[in-house]
């Protein structure tokens, strides 16, 4: 009996086409940890090809290739591999997996095969594909849409992002930097982005030259010390991903875009978990109360005799070691009526904590020390107000 004929599989990337006949319309790059990702988009008439290559070096490589016709996904080709060393560490083989999704045929099918390779190239795989039906083609297409969202045009959103730049600059510095905060109509509290200076919005028409995705919901340029700090925000699901790239004015880009920070779009009002009480001096009547959440982040401050709470927005923290004693500094911005009005610096060493308070209208910091007696509850931290 003759052996069964091998089942034909779909054409692999570049899907039977000459990629050189397409126009390269977008090139994006970013870095996260040990991985570097490159996105390239090619267009020709109604066809669109997207390549997504992620190289994690010794952890492996993940390449994806997408074919669209009239912006409808027709085929996806995925080739990924990771190295596997022998016990002596002298030789290596690559465990490779190749997956193809064909969405243009009915019913949509998937093709998967795995092989061990000496050289990790798609054309080296000799094993047969296993074929199966795609159980939920609509869900797969939605996953692809989200994955390639950075290549799409920005859509209207309800967040209405804008920026506030504080005026907490050092008058003794020849190049004073300020604090950049991102605000939204949907947020109760601003989000600290970074220190910066000369902040400007980047026009949409400059996105392509700077490697900013079309779908970015904002992008700013902050100049400092002959460098441009380029930020952009991308909505991915319920998260706002903020990316950063540094460009040296004299020497060109220092890196690709990398993830700077991530913020939830569904901002909730934080709940206080405990209080710490401070005094301006042992004999002073002036007292300060700070409310903290369960993650030890200060939320708001209130002075004795005043009912006005000052909202605190955390910026950053630094740990320094002096004489083998670690010291933690936590930096906050004070907000009132939606605008920055001053700074808080919380310093802790061993069991001691100090708060340094300064308004923009004052020159000197005011120092408060932790009141150990008042700040301790029956077992742990104080859970009732200080006053």
Domain ranges of the chain: 19-151, 162-264, 274-375
C-alpha–C-alpha distance, residues 146 and 235, integer Å: 10
Average pLDDT over residues 358-371: 85
Q: What is the pLDDT of residue 376?
A: 79
DSSP letter at 9 equals -
Query: Is 202 in a helix, a strand, or coil?
Result: coil
Under the phi-then-psi rule, with left for phi > 0, alpha for psi from -120 to 50, and beta for the rest, what region is 206?
alpha
Average pLDDT over residues 106-134: 88
pLDDT for 276-331, tens place per residue? 999 987 667 889 999 999 889 999 999 998 878 889 999 988 888 776 677 889 99
Average pLDDT over residues 354-374: 86
C-alpha–C-alpha distance, residues 120 and 80, integer Å: 9
Determine the length of the chain: 387
pLDDT for 186-217, tens place per residue? 888 899 999 887 788 999 888 888 888 888 88
Q: What is the pLDDT of residue 168?
A: 59
Helices and strands in the chain: count of H runs, count of E runs: 3, 25
Q: Contact, 168 vs 178, CB < 8 A?
A: yes
Under the phi-then-psi rule, with left for phi > 0, alpha for psi from -120 to 50, and beta for the rest, what region is 15?
left
Give percent of the chain with pLDDT exceeding 70: 90
C-alpha–C-alpha distance, residues 241 and 228, integer Å: 19
Q: Contact, 35 vs 55, CB < 8 A?
A: yes
Please tell me the pTM assigned to this model: 0.69
The β-bridge partners of 331 are 316, 345
pLDDT bucket at 154, cuts 50 / 70 / 90: low
Place of tokens 């995925």: 78
pLDDT bucket at 5, cuts 50 / 70 / 90: very low
């Amino acid at each position: 009996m003759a052996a069964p004929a091998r089942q034909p599989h779909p054409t692999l990337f570049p899907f039977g086409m000459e990629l050189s006949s397409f126009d390269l319309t977008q090139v994006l790059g970013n870095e996260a940890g040990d991985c570097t990702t490159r996105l390239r988009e090619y267009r020709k008439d109604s066809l669109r090809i997207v390549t997504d290559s992620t190289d994690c070096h010794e952890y492996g490589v993940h390449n994806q290739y997408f074919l669209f016709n009239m912006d409808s996904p027709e085929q996806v080709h995925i080739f990924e591999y990771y190295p596997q060393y022998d016990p002596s560490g002298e030789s290596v083989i690559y465990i490779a997996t190749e997956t193809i999704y064909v969405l243009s045929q009915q019913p949509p099918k998937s093709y998967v095969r795995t092989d061990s390779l000496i050289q990790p190239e798609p054309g080296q795989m000799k094993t047969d594909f296993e074929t199966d039906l795609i159980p939920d083609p609509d869900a797969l297409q939605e996953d692809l849409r989200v994955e390639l969202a950075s290549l799409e045009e920005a859509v209207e959103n309800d967040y209405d992002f804008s920026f506030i730049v504080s005026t907490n600059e050092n008058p003794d510095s020849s190049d004073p930097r300020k604090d950049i905060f991102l605000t939204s109509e949907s947020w109760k509290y601003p989000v600290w982005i970074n220190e910066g200076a000369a902040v400007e919005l980047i026009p949409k028409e400059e996105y392509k030259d700077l490697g900013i995705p079309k779908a970015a919901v904002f992008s700013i340029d902050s100049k400092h010390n002959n460098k441009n700090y380029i930020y952009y925000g991308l909505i991915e699901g319920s998260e706002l991903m903020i990316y950063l790239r540094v460009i040296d004015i004299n020497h060109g880009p220092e890196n690709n875009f990398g993830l700077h920070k991530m913020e939830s779009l569904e901002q909730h009002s934080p709940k206080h978990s405990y209080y710490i009480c401070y005094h301006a001096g042992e004999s002073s009547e002036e007292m300060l109360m700070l409310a903290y959440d369960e993650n030890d982040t200060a939320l708001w401050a209130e002075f004795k005799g005043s009912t006005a709470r000052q909202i605190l927005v955390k910026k950053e923290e630094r740990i320094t070691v002096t004489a083998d004693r670690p010291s933690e500094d936590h930096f906050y911005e004070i907000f009132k009526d939606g605008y920055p009005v001053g700074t808080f610096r919380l310093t802790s060493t061993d069991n001691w904590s100090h708060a340094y308070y300064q308004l923009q209208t004052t020159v000197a910091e005011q120092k408060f020390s932790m009141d150990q007696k008042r700040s301790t509850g029956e077992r742990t931290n104080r859970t009732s107000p200080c006053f």
